Amino acid sequence: MKKIVVMCVATVAFASCGGNAEGVTIDEQNAMNAAYDLSYELATAVVEAKNYEEFKSAREALESYEEAFREQIGGEEYLIFLEETNAVLNEM
């Protein structure tokens, strides 16, 4: 019984730790290309949103990937993701 309770608690804790990055996985082998491509795609979607709802959904996607890059990859690739995203957003 105790084991089951512990397992349930662990599952709930694990699920809630996922946050925004839940479901987003970055391919470590191709992280550099992904940093360039995804930052451009996601930031462009934010900039080109046609209404508030579209903006909110594009922002959520962008922030999920930002979190995924920060937590899964880090280092130079994460910095590139940030810099490229800011470059697109600042063009507005």
Binding footprint of other proteins on the chain (CB under 8 A): 46, 49, 51-52, 55-56, 59, 62-63, 66, 78-79, 82-83, 85-86, 89-90, 92
Q: How far is the CB of 28 from other proteins (least distance, A)?
A: 19
Shortest Å distance, C-beta 14 to other proteins: 25
- Can you give the C-alpha Rg of the chain in angstroms? 16
Looking at the Cβ atoms of 33 and 86, the one nearer to other proteins is: 86
Nearest to 85 by CA among 57, 56, 50, 61: 61
Q: Which residues contact 15 (CB under 8 A, 6 or more apart)?
A: none
